[in-house]
Amino acid sequence: MSDAGPDRKVAGVTTPPVPPSAEQIGLFAFHVASQMSGAVTAAMIHLGDRLGLYRALDAAGGPLTSGELAAATGLVERWVREWAYNQAAAGLLVADTGGTGGTSDGDDGDTGGDDGSGADTRAAGERFSLAPEAAPVLADEGHDMFLAGMFHQFPQTMARLDELPDSFRTGIGHDYDSYGPEAAVGIERGFGSWIAAHLVADVLAPLDGVVDRLTAGTAVADVGCGTGGAVLEMARAFPASRFAGYDISQHALARAAERLAGSGLGNVAFHDPRREPLPADGSLGLVTTFDCLHDMTDPGAAAASIRRALADDGTWLLADIKAYDTFAENVERNPMAAMMYGTSVLTCMASALSEPGGAGLGTLGLSAARAESMARGAGFTRFRRVGVDHPVNAFYEIRP
C-alpha cells in the first residue's frame, strides 16, 4: 500500500507526504487495467451464451477445434477462434494447444480458409472444451448453478452508461422497463433454474405450516413477480391454492402472460399493482417477495401493503440479497461486494431511485437488521432467518 497521502503529524511535527514509487504506481495501474478484463470477458460470456457456443461444446462430448466449433454453430471460424482464446485465457474453457507453443513474430500463418476468415494453420492443433464443472454453469440451463443467463441483458445494462451521468447530476434513476424486454428475460434465466430446483423443497418446506396450508388451499401473492417463475412453480406444486403475481414492469408482465398461456395452469393471474393493488382485507395466507424489495422506491410502503393483505396467521417470505449493516462488513464478508455495488449503480439503486424521493437502498442495502426494522414498522411481530443454503440470498420468515 502506498504511503502517499495528506500531510501527517508525527510528534506534533507535520511531515510532507511520501510520493509513491514508480513501482507502486505501476502496480496500481496494472490493478486498474485488469478491471477491464472482467468487463470484456463478461461480454464474451454473453456472446457464448447467445450464439450457443457453450451448448455446442457441451454437446460435443469432447474437445473441438475452432473450425469444428464454428461448423457446429454455423459461425465463421476466425471469430470463434478469437472468442475461444479469450475464454481459455480467462480460465473458462480448457485449451489443448497440441504443442503449438508460442506465436511467431513474423507471418501470422493465415491460409485463406474457404469461409474467408484466414484460418491459421497453427489453430488446427488447438482444441477447446468445457471442464466438467463448467458445463452446468455455462451450458446446462436446467442446472441450479446455471449462470450464463445472468449475462443475457449485459448489452442493455452497459448501454445505461450513456444516461447515468444525468442520474448522478439529478439524483433520479431509471426503472427496469427502461432496459427493454431483455432485462425481464435475463432475470428469468438468471434465477429460474434455482427456483425450479429448490423453491418448494428447500425454501417453502422449512416455513411453519406453510406447505400444509398451500396443500389445503389458500390465496397467495408474489410481489415483484417478474416473469412469473416462482408463481408458476408454486401453482404447479399446489393446485388447490390460488396465486397472483404483481409487478410494475410491463415487459415482465407480458412475458409472464406468455408463460402462463403455455403452462396449462388455471390457478394463476398476474397484475400491475398500480391498477389492481394487493387486497387490503387480510385474505392472503402467504406473500412472497424474491430479490425485489431493495429495488423498490418505497419498500416500507410495500411492507405495509403486505401486512394489510395477510391474514393474522399468514406468512411473508422475504428473500433478498445477503447484506450487512456497514460498507466495511460487506467488503470483508462478501467477495463479490465490488460487483454488487457496481450493479447497484447500474440497476438496483437506479430502480430504487427511479422516482423522486425513492429509498435508494441499493443491492447491498437490505441487511437483516434493516429488513426486520422495516417489517416491525409495518406491523409484523415475528422475524426469523430461514436456513436456506443460497450463494447470494438470505431468506426470512415474517409473521404478524
Residues 135 and 282 reside in one and the same domain: no
Boundary of a domain, candidates 80, 106, 140:
140
Rounded to the nearest 5°, which phi and psi values hold at 121?
-60, -30
**Is 112 inside any structural domain?**
yes
**Is 11 inside any structural domain?**
no
**Is 337 inside any structural domain?**
yes
Residues 6+ apart with CB under 8 A from 158: 43
CA neighbours closer than 13 Å in the CB half-sphere of residue 32: 6
Averaged pLDDT of the chain:
92
Residues 135 and 162 reside in one and the same domain: no
Q: For residue 130, give the nearest of 101, 91, 99 by alpha carbon.
A: 91
**Is 18 inside any structural domain?**
no
Q: Per-residue pLDDT for 138 more than 60?
A: yes
Boundary of a domain, candidates 86, 106, 140:
140
Boundary of a domain, candidates 140, 160, 190:
140
User: Average pLDDT for residues 312-334, to the nearest whole number?
Assistant: 97
Residues 111 and 165 reside in one and the same domain: no
* Whole-number Å distance between alpha carbons of 347 and 349: 6
Q: What is the residue range of 87's domain? A: 23-140
Q: Which helix (H) or strand (E) holds 285?
A: strand 284-290
**Is 7 inside any structural domain?**
no
Residues 81-113: tens digit of each pLDDT: 999 999 999 999 999 997 655 443 334 434 344
- Please report the beta strands in 49-202, taking only residues with DSSP state E, as ranges in sequence order: 94-96, 127-129
- 15: which strand partners? 8
Residues 120 and 155 reside in one and the same domain: no
Q: Per-residue pLDDT for 247 more than 50?
A: yes
Sorting pLDDT into bands at 50, 70 and 90, what band is 2?
A: very low
Q: Which helix (H) or strand (E) holds 332?
A: helix 327-333
Residues 239 and 271 reside in one and the same domain: yes
Residues 271 and 330 reside in one and the same domain: yes
**CATH of residue 64:** 1.10.10.10
CB atoms under 10 Å from CB of 364, counted, come to 24
Looking at this protein, which amino acid is placed at residue 343? T
Residues 124 and 161 reside in one and the same domain: no
**CATH of residue 328:** 3.40.50.150
**Is 1 inside any structural domain?**
no
Residues 304 and 345 reside in one and the same domain: yes
Percent of the chain with pLDDT over 90: 88
Residue 19 in grid coordinates: 510520493
What pLDDT shows up at residue 107? 40
* Whole-number Å distance between alpha carbons of 152 and 1: 37
Q: Per-residue pLDDT for 7 more than 60?
A: no
**In the chain, how many domains are there?**
2
* Residue given cell 449493516 in the structure block: 325
* Whole-number Å distance between alpha carbons of 322 and 98: 44
What single-letter DSSP state applies at residue 281? S
Residues 219 and 129 reside in one and the same domain: no
CA neighbours closer than 13 Å in the CB half-sphere of residue 65: 15
* CA distance readout (Å), 222 to 228, 246, 384: 9, 6, 19
CA neighbours closer than 13 Å in the CB half-sphere of residue 22: 0
Residues 129 and 223 reside in one and the same domain: no
* Whole-number Å distance between alpha carbons of 49 and 186: 12
Q: How many helices (H) and strands (E) does the chain have?
A: 16, 11
Residues 86 and 128 reside in one and the same domain: yes
Residues 164 and 61 reside in one and the same domain: no
**Is 129 inside any structural domain?**
yes
* Whole-number Å distance between alpha carbons of 127 and 65: 4
- Provide the 3-class DSSP secondary structure of residue 68: helix
Rounded to the nearest 5°, which phi and psi values hold at 120?
-85, 130
Sorting pLDDT into bands at 50, 70 and 90, what band is 124?
A: confident
What pLDDT shows up at residue 13? 66
User: Average pLDDT for residues 182-190, to the nearest whole number?
Assistant: 94
**Is 8 inside any structural domain?**
no
Alpha helices in 61-180 (DSSP H): 66-73, 77-89, 135-138, 154-159, 164-170
